[in-house]
Amino acid sequence: MVEIGHFALILALVLSVVQSIVPMVGARTGDARLMAVGGPVAVTALALIALSFTALTMAYVLSDFSVVNVWENSHSLKPMLFKITGTWGNHEGSMLLWILILSFFSAMVALFGGNLPATLRANVLAVQGWIATAFLLFIVITSNPFTRLIPAPIEGRDLNPILQDIGLAVHPPLLYLGYVGFSVCFSFAVAALIEGRIDAAWARWVRPWTLAAWVFLTGGIAMGSYWAYYELGWGGFWFWDPVENASFMPWLAGTALLHSAIVMEKRSALKIWTLLLAILTFSLSLLGTFLVRSGVLTSVHAFASDPSRGVFILAILTFFIGGSLTLFALRASSLTAGGLFHPISREGSLVLNNLFLTTATATVLIGTLYPLVVEAVSAEKISVGEPFFNLTFGPVMLPLLAIVPFGPLLAWKRGDVFAVAQRLMFAFGGALLVVLATLLFIDGASVFAALGAGLGTWLVLGALTDLALKSGIGSVTSAVALRRFIGLPRSVFGTALAHLGLGLTLIGIVGVVAFQSEEILVMKPGQTVEIAGKSLRFEGLQPTRGPNYTEDQGRFWLLGADGKPVAQIVSAKRFYPARQFPTTEAGIKTMWLSQLYISLGDSTPEGAVVVRLWWKPLVLLIWLGPLFMMAGGFVSLMDRRLRVGAPARRKSAGPVKVGVAS
Amino acid sequence: MTRKQKRLSVIAGALAFLGAATALTFYALGQKASYFYMPGDLQAATLESGQRIRLGGLVENGSIIRGQGTEVAFGVTDSQETVKVRYTGLLPDLFREGQGVITEGTFGPDGVFVADSVLAKHDENYMPKEVADSLKEKGVWQETKQ
């Protein structure tokens, strides 16, 4: 089975080379038969890579330690779920997952791209083929997951314990679906440049891919953040770690792309800019892959790495980023410019959005790469952390957040800011109330915290106002308003949901950063501690045993107002003998949107233990927000599919225009 | 305003914004980036009082002293020079004698390094990359390949 996996991978490489060349030659010479090769080849490559991935997964499931990769990252006593997820918990396996997802997207273009012009489809598939070829070569030459180990050891070395978690089962696949999803946008952009032709229809084809990739990337980042929050035991949700930034940059650029593609689709303006963004977004995804996989950074993601891999990925990076930007420089001027618009208009607001988002991306990029550059040039080691990003990323993003509610309410071509401001009076009043209430009723609230909470409320209410105005609530009878509400285009709901989610995340961040309370103390069994008005009693440490670890469980009782215990919270220190690796398992008690977070430190022989306690108000909103954003993206996607997949139906039914505010 | 003037003012506005963001970024890089030192590098370094740095090295054997509550003092060494470090809080899982750590904080007036964070990164060899690189340069420590 293992060798079958290896052969399938090599066959997929050969097919990818065919996919890179044949359809493109067909598109150039106008040979329909050559162009038609792309589709079946892409689908077959997917089948082969899926077979290869299954082979590796089976080796993990069966604990076949004659495979080096399995021996290094698995253990026969590991729970089955983590045996399976361990497949991508290491360098080789995660690259295989990367290429699996890439070929999945190529096959999707092949299968659902029937309504694309034949040459565009052929070129897109060919560019996807180049990417697949590069990464398959990378795997086969430098990171073969199927290398054998003879004689086979009896037992494996186990997976890094902090990766043995359900969060890891979900985080990398989601993140990769996002990263790699942007490859389709990239391929469309490069194909358009090769053809030298681009129009509004191009944006309509690219938008669903951008949306889908963005939804997955949002989920992947949020999942990674929540995983770090509960698994690392530090109680933080974002560390501005270079690896986090690596996933955040494509997200920021992808968000900009999402918005500029709207302008291109509706008004056929910003064409060249949208192309550039599509290229940049995937370039940042590649950069992220390079940073994480090459070992230039230290983190949980930097699995044992060797320099030849770094050089190989750097070569891929240079080829695709350099090549696509050169192509852009050569061909972009030949593309026709689009429609004109007034600075104060929907288009104008989206341009502003792009200006802010790309600047924010640039600040994150500089903060991430600067230490690497300094180290390479001067051998001095520096670190750029939270203080830097607070000073740069913050001031760039805050004005953007403040103007978000205006965007969807402005009219296309020429808008009226004052009329929109009037419509937003209610949202503004609500935000002002929250600011005042925070200052008056919460002890120790700073002006910044109050303004932050107000800004979050402004975003949430602004999104709701948008929905209310577009369905005419307040100006028409409720029955009509309800009918209009239901009939609103899905993309209007999508926008509102995503912007609302942004507001929720902001409120959550303000809640935690400004209002969390923290306590570090040594607790003896039976001792009670007060935090944020809650009493917690420490019962003592209890040694227990898991399948492949031992742990000391610290048991706590949350006491009610009458001093009676209401809920038990267990926090533990684990030890994984196979890797000689200790971990902290935080004890978390969720109360509505807030959480009580307990993490254990060293214990004394008498049974006392160092305890770190946090009360984290509204912390769940931080991850609830991205869920709303994902829902928004998903709902918009529904809208797109109707328009893209069923143009004929739309023609017969007639376009449905619903009272969009003028 | 003519159309051309309008367009120019929009472009000027965008450029002003980009300029401000660039200036802010470079100011922040100068102010907020913290430098990494090993104990042996400190003599050559000129530190302003209260400047935040990252101090890395190995936790000196037998140097860990637990004080009241969660206070802890330990030595960080590159096996030639040693710096005393004081820290209050929860030590990371991987903190132990002879292991690599990175501490971040400032030097107090008594010459003791007061750390507000202690990192022992999630590396199986208990060796943060910066520490490993510096120790390798000094020839104190070699990477062991299993």
How much of chain A exceeds pLDDT 70, in percent? Answer: 94
Looking at residue B141, its pLDDT comes to 54
User: Which residues in chain A touch residue B134, judged by CB atoms under 8 angstroms apart?
Assistant: 381
Q: Give B30's pLDDT tier (boundaries 50, 70, 90).
A: confident
User: Is the Cβ pair B70, A362 closer than 8 Å?
Assistant: no
User: Which residues in chain B touch residue A300, judged by CB atoms under 8 angstroms apart?
Assistant: 122
Q: What is the mean pLDDT of residues A311-319?
A: 88
Amino acid (one-letter) located at A619: V
User: Is the Cβ pair B25, A601 closer than 8 Å?
Assistant: no
User: Is the Cβ pair B70, A521 closer than 8 Å?
Assistant: yes
Distance CA B66, CA A472 (A): 67
User: Is the Cβ pair A381, B36 closer than 8 Å?
Assistant: yes
DSSP β-bridge partners for residue B137 = none
Q: Specify burial of residue A142 (Cβ count, 10 A radius: 0-12, 13-18, 19+).
A: middle
Q: Which of A347-361, A574-588, A639-653 has the lowest mean pLDDT?
A: A639-653
Q: How far is CA B76 from CA A24, A262, A523, in A?
A: 60, 55, 28
Distance CA A545, CA A475 (A): 65
Q: Residue A577 pLDDT more than 60?
A: yes
Q: Give A658's pLDDT tier (boundaries 50, 70, 90).
A: very low
Q: Residue A299 pLDDT more than 80?
A: no
Per-residue model confidence as pLDDT tens digits over A158-176: 887 878 888 878 898 999 9
Distance CA A382, CA B36 (A): 5
Tokens found for residue A66 = 């004659």
Q: Which of A170-184, A253-267, B83-97, B125-139 has the lowest mean pLDDT?
A: B125-139
3-state SS string for A511-554: HHHHHCEEEEEEECCCCEEEECCEEEEEEEEEEEECCCCEEEEE
Q: Residue A520 pLDDT more than 80?
A: yes
Q: Residue A289 pLDDT more than 50?
A: yes
Which residues, at least 6 apart from A23, have a Cβ–Cβ distance to it below 8 Å?
A34, A35, A37, A38, A122, A123, A125, A126, A129
**How many other C-beta atoms lie within 10 A of the C-beta of residue A594?**
21
Distance CA A391, CA A89 (A): 35
More confident residue, B124 or A356: A356
User: Which residues in chain B touch residue A157, judged by CB atoms under 8 angstroms apart?
Assistant: 146
* Helix and strand totals (H; E) in chain B: 2, 7
Amino acid (one-letter) located at B28: A
Per-residue model confidence as pLDDT tens digits over A449-499: 999 999 999 999 999 999 999 988 878 888 898 888 888 888 899 999 999
Q: Residue B42 pLDDT more than 70?
A: yes
> Minimal Cα–Cα distance from B110 to chain A, Å?
25
Q: What is the mean pLDDT of residues A385-409?
A: 92
Q: How far is CA A206 from CA A35, A177, A190, A212, in A?
A: 20, 16, 12, 10
Looking at residue A515, its pLDDT comes to 92
- In A438-505, which ranges are E strands? none
Looking at residue A6, its pLDDT comes to 96
Residue A138 phi/psi, 5-degree rounding, is: -55, -45
Looking at residue A659, its pLDDT comes to 40
Q: Which of A382-391, A396-405, A589-598 has the lowest mean pLDDT?
A: A382-391
Is residue A264 within 8 Å of residue A270, measured between CB atoms?
A: yes
Q: Which of A50-64, A98-112, A160-174, A301-315 has the lowest mean pLDDT?
A: A301-315
Interface test with B, best of A68, A392, A520 (most B CBs within 10 A): A392
User: Is the Cβ pair A612, B89 closer than 8 Å?
Assistant: yes
Q: What is the mean pLDDT of residues B71-83?
A: 88
Q: Which of A89-98, A580-589, A598-607, B70-79 has the highest mean pLDDT?
A: A89-98
According to DSSP, the β-strands at B34-37 and B53-59 are parallel
Chain A with chain B: Cβ pairs closer than 8 A = 99
Looking at residue A54, its pLDDT comes to 97
Q: What is the mean pLDDT of residues A28-41?
A: 94
Is residue A133 within 8 Å of residue A127, measured between CB atoms?
A: no
Q: Which residues in B have their CB inside 8 Å of a CB on A?
A: 6, 10, 14, 17-18, 21, 24-25, 27-29, 31-36, 54, 69-70, 88-91, 93-94, 121-124, 128-130, 133-134, 146
Which residues, at least 6 apart from A201, have a Cβ–Cβ distance to it below 8 Å?
none
Looking at residue A319, its pLDDT comes to 94
| Nearest CB partner across the interface for B122, out of A300, A366, A610 | A300
Q: Give A300's pLDDT tier (boundaries 50, 70, 90).
A: very low
Name the strands in the sheet holding A587-591, side by side, starting at the edge strand that comes first in the sequence: A517-523, A609-616, A594-603, A587-591
Q: Which of A257-266, A501-510, A639-648 has the lowest mean pLDDT?
A: A639-648
| Nearest CB partner across the interface for B91, out of A300, A367, A602 | A602
Per-residue model confidence as pLDDT tens digits over A109-136: 999 888 889 999 999 999 999 999 999 9
Q: pTM of the prediction?
A: 0.91
> Minimal Cα–Cα distance from A599 to chain B, Å?
9
- Rg of chain B over CA atoms, in angstroms? 22
Q: Where in chain A is the domain with CATH 2.60.98?
A: 517-616
Would you tell me the crossing angle of helices A346-378 and A386-403 to the nearest 10 degrees? 170
Distance CA A1, CA B8 (A): 65
Distance CA A259, CA A252 (A): 11
Q: Give A513's pLDDT tier (boundaries 50, 70, 90).
A: very high
Looking at residue A296, its pLDDT comes to 66
User: Which residues in chain B touch residue A160, judged by CB atoms under 8 angstroms apart?
Assistant: 122, 124
User: Is the Cβ pair B25, A363 closer than 8 Å?
Assistant: yes
Q: What is the mean pLDDT of residues A23-34?
A: 94
Per-residue model confidence as pLDDT tens digits over A537-546: 999 898 999 8
Which residues, at least 6 apart from A164, have a Cβ–Cβ distance to it below 8 Å?
A78, A79, A82, A86
> Minimal Cα–Cα distance from A520 to chain B, Å?
6
Q: What is the mean pLDDT of residues A226-251?
A: 88
Q: What angle do CA A33, A34, A37 make, to 5 degrees?
A: 90
Per-residue model confidence as pLDDT tens digits over A247-281: 999 999 999 999 999 888 888 888 889 999 999 99
Q: Residue B121 pLDDT more than 80?
A: no
Q: How far is CA A10 from CA A3, A13, A146, B50, in A?
A: 11, 5, 12, 58
- Local structure of residue A345 (DSSP, 8 states): S
User: Is the Cβ pair A520, B70 closer than 8 Å?
Assistant: yes
According to DSSP, the β-strands at A381-383 and A528-531 are unpaired
Is residue A239 within 8 Å of residue A232, measured between CB atoms?
A: no
User: Is the Cβ pair B14, A355 closer than 8 Å?
Assistant: yes
Q: Residue A654 pLDDT more than 50?
A: no
**How many other C-beta atoms lie within 10 A of the C-beta of residue A380?**
13
Residue B56 phi/psi, 5-degree rounding, is: -125, 160
User: Which residues in chain B touch residue A384, judged by CB atoms under 8 angstroms apart?
Assistant: 29, 32-33
Q: Give B135's pLDDT tier (boundaries 50, 70, 90).
A: low
User: Is the Cβ pair B69, A573 closer than 8 Å?
Assistant: no
User: Is the Cβ pair A233, B130 closer than 8 Å?
Assistant: no
User: Is the Cβ pair A601, B90 closer than 8 Å?
Assistant: yes
Q: Residue A242 pLDDT more than 70?
A: yes
Looking at residue A217, its pLDDT comes to 97
Q: What is the mean pLDDT of residues B114-131?
A: 66
Domain spanning A517-616, CATH class? mainly beta
Mean pLDDT of chain A: 89
Distance CA A590, CA A595 (A): 4
User: Which residues in chain B touch residue A363, judged by CB atoms under 8 angstroms apart?
Assistant: 21, 25
User: Is the Cβ pair A582, B93 closer than 8 Å?
Assistant: yes
Distance CA A10, CA A487 (A): 51
Interface test with A, best of B1, B71, B122, B129 (most A CBs within 10 A): B122
Q: Residue A343 pLDDT more than 50?
A: yes
Q: What is the mean pLDDT of residues B123-144?
A: 58
Q: Residue A391 pLDDT more than 80?
A: yes
Distance CA A275, CA A262 (A): 13
Q: Identify the closest residue of chain B to A524 by CA–CA distance.
A: B69
CA A278: distance to chain centroid? 16
